């Protein structure tokens, strides 16, 4: 009944990496994504949505991290979102 | 195929690990949370007082006079005054400390400095005397105590953040749980194998009730995360978007209502606070007002404004806020927001609030929430039991001791809370004046039961004894209440104390159901040698 071990990550490094990606990594990319949206759309509306969507998207990213097999692939997705958002924030901040 | 199997197993693992990790916290949140739906009712039950009718007749000028006598400097302040109903109606006055503009440095005498401090005050609406000052007072109310407990408020500062994290991971556990259950979601919904082994029984209960409560649980996972962790959104927004300027963020979150064409043109010379409030109330049905507050900005100055807010009957209207802003100096209406004109931000924040606190639809909704919360408690507990019974095979023998210890501790901590709460309800009636000591007794009892569970190990016994204890103590609650306050449950309703009546009846029902459950609880499974469980029926009724 408990999950079959042969499908789980074996190395401690891999597991830790995924936990960090699911918690901190997912948060950083979802938060930066929402902040980036604030620069380009109606602030009030984006913020009103972000009040709940930040948590939903955070959890969805957590699911993504575990859906992907290799830790570095999930990190790549997260870092991609993060870089895209940071770039957008940079564009938004420089007049 | 292999990929599918991998994903199933991976999510199964994350569901199990997060579920076990948050189980105790989540159980406390939902059980204490179920009681805190009725905070005010429990508080009034504790003091044996009647619910007072909400009144819109407040003499705001007298409140201001009371403040002026207190040697506060009122000029330039932003003051909020509202009538609150808790145990008894009281007027709450709040005002932040006066601060100087950033660049000026001024020295104040001690008296002046005191006059500029923040105001926290509760005033009696009948005599206009000050009842309480200061904030952050330790509560001596049972309902409020349970409300604090439901977000671990007894742990200062970080308690609510921990609760927020638990909520967030609850959302993760819900979603990964629904993914692994997806294929069988319809067929298993109608499956309940009572005699096919204890593990299957817990499993079926866990999945069927989990699917049944899914929308409710997901709603609480997200709104709970909002209350605990929303700073994680505000801080980056504040720092990155507004360069640390808090006022801009506040202006975004609480925008000024723009002037509408809908103004009152009738001549009205009374520009006192009372006069303006009366004028705002004149377009409302007074009997439907459930809450009323007045915010005065820049008091005593030419640009002073008065913001009148009323919340109307929450059973008739989901969005029930009316806001009118006046210029205090000449009484012109600056803006007016009727009930049905709400911005998206209003909708979003109020929906989160109302869904979380069940403050719509009256007592029927609250009763439904209470039931669903208990079902969620059962889902959590049966999840732990599935985890435990699934590990009773030989292949887990090397970890058997560890698993059994963890299981006993977790089930003990969860189940122990129920008799502990019942005990607390008894204690506040036996020793009405020693709330602090009694709260210590509550925590000690809870700890004691957890330790006891750790030593007896058998989940069957842990569950059964908790039900017996909780049942007996629960049945004692109305008796002790009758002895202490004279409000026996057979006459309290006709005497006009519905809160006392319903809390007593609630405990009678909960207590007898727990005893019934304990009575019918049998170690169902003989095939599994070491561990036994309670029949499902008994636990549903906790």
pLDDT in tens, B333-375: 888 888 888 889 989 999 999 999 998 888 899 999 999 999 9
Cα dist from B86 to A86, B53, B181, whole Å: 47, 11, 44
- ipTM attached to this prediction: 0.95
**In the block, which residue shows the tokens 């924030």?**
A89
Instruction: From chain A, pick out residues whose CB is under 8 angstroms from the CB of B171.
Output: 55-56, 59
**Shortest CB distance from A7 goes to which of B9, B171, B349?**
B9
**Shortest CB distance from B255 goes to which of A44, A52, A93?**
A44
Helix (H, G, I), strand (E, B) or coil at B132: strand
A60: nearest CA partner in chain B = B172
Question: What local confidence, expressed as pLDDT, does residue B262 receive?
Answer: 52
Question: What local confidence, expressed as pLDDT, does residue B276 receive?
Answer: 87
Q: Closest Cα of chain B to A70: distance in Å?
A: 12
Q: Closest Cα of chain B to A77: distance in Å?
A: 18
Q: What is the pTM of this model?
A: 0.89
d(CA B278, CA B324): 12
A46: nearest CA partner in chain B = B345
Q: Which of B250, B178, B238, B189 minimizes the C-alpha distance to B214? A: B178
**In the block, which residue shows the tokens 């009763």?**
B367
B505 pLDDT higher than 60: yes
Question: What local confidence, expressed as pLDDT, does residue B139 receive?
Answer: 79
**Shortest CB distance from A59 goes to which of B175, B232, B252?**
B175
d(CA B440, CA B435): 9
- Mean pLDDT across chain B, nearest whole number? 85
B235 pLDDT higher than 90: yes
Q: Which of B337, B335, B342, B331 minimizes the C-alpha distance to B259? A: B335
Instruction: From chain A, pick out residues whose CB is under 8 angstroms from the CB of B223.
Output: 52
pLDDT-derived band at B186 (thresholds 50, 70, 90) equals: confident
Question: What local confidence, expressed as pLDDT, does residue B258 receive?
Answer: 63
Q: Between vectors from CA B160 to CA B365 and to CA B255, what angle results, nearest 5°?
A: 75
| pLDDT (mean) for B273-285 | 86
Q: How many CB pairs under 8 A join A and B?
A: 98
pLDDT-derived band at B539 (thresholds 50, 70, 90) equals: very low
B407 pLDDT higher than 80: yes
Q: Closest Cα of chain A to B291: distance in Å?
A: 24
pLDDT digits (tens, 9 = 90+) for B13-67: 999 999 999 999 999 999 999 999 999 999 999 988 888 888 888 888 888 888 8
Q: Between vectors from CA B351 to CA B189 and to CA B314, what angle results, nearest 5°?
A: 105
Question: What local confidence, expressed as pLDDT, does residue B534 receive?
Answer: 41
Instruction: From chain B, pick out residues whose CB is under 8 angstroms from the CB of A2.
Output: 12-13, 16, 390-391
**Shortest CB distance from A51 goes to which of B13, B171, B349?**
B349
Highest mean pLDDT among B98-107, B253-262, B349-358: B349-358
| pLDDT (mean) for B477-490 | 90
- Residues in chain A predicted with pLDDT less than 50, given as ranges, are none
| Chain A residue set in contact with B, beta carbons under 8 Å | 1-4, 7-8, 27, 31-32, 34-35, 38-39, 43-45, 47-52, 54-56, 58-60, 62-63, 66-67, 69, 89, 93
Cβ–Cβ gap B348/A52 under 8 Å: yes
**Shortest CB distance from B168 goes to which of A7, A55, A69?**
A55
Cβ–Cβ gap B168/A59 under 8 Å: yes
Q: Closest Cα of chain A to B114: distance in Å?
A: 38
**Edge-first strand listing for the sheet containing B119-123:** B130-133, B119-123, B89-95, B79-85, B289-297, B305-312, B321-327, B333-337
């Amino acid at each position: 009944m408990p999950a079959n071990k042969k499908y789980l990550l074996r190395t401690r490094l891999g597991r830790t990496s995924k936990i960090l990606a699911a918690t901190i990594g997912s948060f950083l990319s979802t938060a930066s994504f929402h902040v980036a949206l604030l620069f380009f759309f109606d602030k009030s509306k984006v913020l009103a949505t972000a009040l709940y969507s930040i948590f939903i998207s955070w959890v969805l990213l957590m699911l993504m991290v575990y859906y992907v097999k290799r830790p570095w692939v999930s990190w790549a997705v997260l870092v991609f979102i993060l870089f895209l958002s940071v770039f957008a924030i940079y564009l938004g901040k420089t007049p | 195929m292999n990929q599918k199997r991998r994903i199933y197993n991976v999510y199964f693992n994350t569901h199990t690990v997060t579920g076990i990790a948050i189980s105790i916290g989540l159980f406390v949140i939902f059980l204490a949370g179920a009681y805190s739906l009725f905070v005010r009712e429990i508080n009034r039950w504790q003091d044996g007082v009647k619910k007072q009718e909400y009144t819109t007749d407040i003499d705001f000028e007298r409140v201001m006079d009371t403040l002026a006598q207190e040697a506060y400097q009122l000029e330039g302040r932003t003051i909020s005054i509202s009538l609150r109903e808790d145990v008894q109606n009281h007027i709450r006055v709040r005002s932040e400390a006066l601060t100087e503009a950033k660049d000026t440095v001024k020295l104040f005498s001690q008296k002046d400095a005191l006059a500029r401090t923040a105001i926290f005050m509760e005033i009696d609406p009948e005599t206009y005397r000050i009842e309480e000052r200061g904030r952050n007072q330790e509560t001596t109310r049972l309902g409020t105590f349970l409300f604090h407990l439901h977000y671990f408020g007894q742990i200062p500062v970080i308690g609510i953040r921990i609760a927020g994290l638990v909520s967030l991971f609850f959302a993760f556990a819900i979603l990964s749980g629904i993914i692994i259950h997806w294929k069988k979601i319809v067929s298993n919904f109608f499956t309940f194998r009572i005699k096919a082994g204890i593990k299957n029984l817990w499993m079926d209960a866990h999945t069927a009730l989990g699917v049944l409560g899914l929308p409710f649980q997901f709603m609480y996972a997200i709104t709970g995360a909002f209350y605990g962790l929303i700073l994680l959104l505000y801080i980056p927004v504040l720092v990155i978007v507004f360069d640390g300027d808090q006022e801009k963020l506040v202006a975004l979150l609480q925008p000024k209502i723009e002037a509408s064409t809908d103004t009152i043109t009738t001549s009205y010379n009374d520009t006192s606070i009372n006069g303006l409030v009366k004028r705002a109330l004149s377009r409302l049905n007074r009997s439907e007002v459930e809450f009323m507050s007045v915010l005065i900005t820049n008091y005593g100055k030419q640009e002073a404004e008065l913001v009148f807010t009323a919340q109307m009957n929450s059973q008739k209207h989901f969005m029930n806020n009316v806001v009118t802003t006046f210029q205090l100096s000449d009484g012109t209406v600056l803006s007016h927001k009727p009930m049905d004109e709400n911005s998206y931000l209003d909708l979003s924040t109020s929906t989160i609030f109302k869904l979380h606190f069940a403050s719509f639809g009256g007592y029927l909704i609250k009763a439904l929430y209470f039931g669903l919360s208990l079902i969620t408690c059962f889902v959590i507990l049966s999840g732990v039991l599935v985890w435990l019974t699934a590990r009773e095979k030989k292949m887990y023998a090397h970890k058997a001791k560890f698993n059994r210890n963890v299981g006993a501790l977790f089930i003990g901590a969860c189940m122990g809370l129920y008799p502990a709460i019942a005990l607390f309800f008894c204690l506040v009636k036996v020793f009405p004046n020693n709330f602090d000591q009694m709260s210590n007794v509550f925590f000690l009892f809870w700890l004691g039961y957890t330790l006891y569970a750790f030593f007896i190990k058998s989940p069957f016994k842990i569950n059964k004894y908790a039900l017996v204890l909780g049942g007996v103590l629960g049945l004692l609650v109305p008796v002790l209440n009758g002895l202490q306050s004279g409000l026996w449950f057979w006459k309290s309703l006709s005497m006009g104390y519905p809160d006392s009546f319903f809390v007593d009846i609630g405990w009678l029902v909960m207590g007898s159901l727990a005893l019934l459950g304990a009575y019918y609880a049998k170690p169902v499974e003989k095939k599994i040698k070491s561990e036994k469980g309670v029949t499902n029926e008994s636990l549903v009724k906790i």
